[in-house]
Amino acid sequence: MTELKIERDELLRLRGESHALNPLVLLGQNGLTDAVLKEIDKALKSHGLVKIRMPGDDREAREADIEKILDTLGAARIQVIGKTVTVYRPMPEKEAAGSKPAAEARAERPRSRGGKILRTDKKRIAKKKAPIRRARPKRTRTVKKALGAAS
């Protein structure tokens, strides 16, 4: 694989997002191993934007490791500050067979606020003519009988 190229606007946006991140992958004394590459790959699949902390004072060796990470994993270099490098790779689309998108699943269930039916639910119910489902039964008031009053 080769290093991923991204446009300037997205690069600037990703740099802004990366400031709040903490390093997810820390290279140890053994440097860049296959296990570390797998860990970086796993982090890129789950997060997309990953900060990596690299030890050592040799800039050329760090730069060679960064190039190896980018070429092997097909990621883009976002920013390098000192011994910390930020890399990005778009997250893969999750394909869930047989499941509905979240918006469709939310649209099917009625929303409720303390037993009241929201206006949007009334519109939806009017279209479907479905019975009203409440989150909890409507409360009824109980009146205390006056003391000493016999029936």
Pairing relationship of beta strands 84-88 and 112-113 according to DSSP bridges: unpaired
- Residue 26 contacts residue 65 (beta carbons within 8 Å): no
DSSP state of 11: H
Which residues, at least 6 apart from 139, have a Cβ–Cβ distance to it below 8 Å? 115
Q: Walk me through the domains of the chain, giving residue ranges and CATH numbers.
A: 8-88 (3.30.110.60), 99-129 (no CATH)
> What are the phi and psi torsion angles at 25 (to 5°)?
-120, 130
Q: What is the model's pLDDT at position 123?
A: 65
pTM of the entire structure? 0.60
The per-residue pLDDT for 129 is 58
Q: What is the pLDDT of residue 3?
A: 76
Please list the rounded mean pLDDT of every run of 10 residues in the chain (151 residues): 84 92 90 92 92 91 93 93 93 64 60 58 62 66 59 51
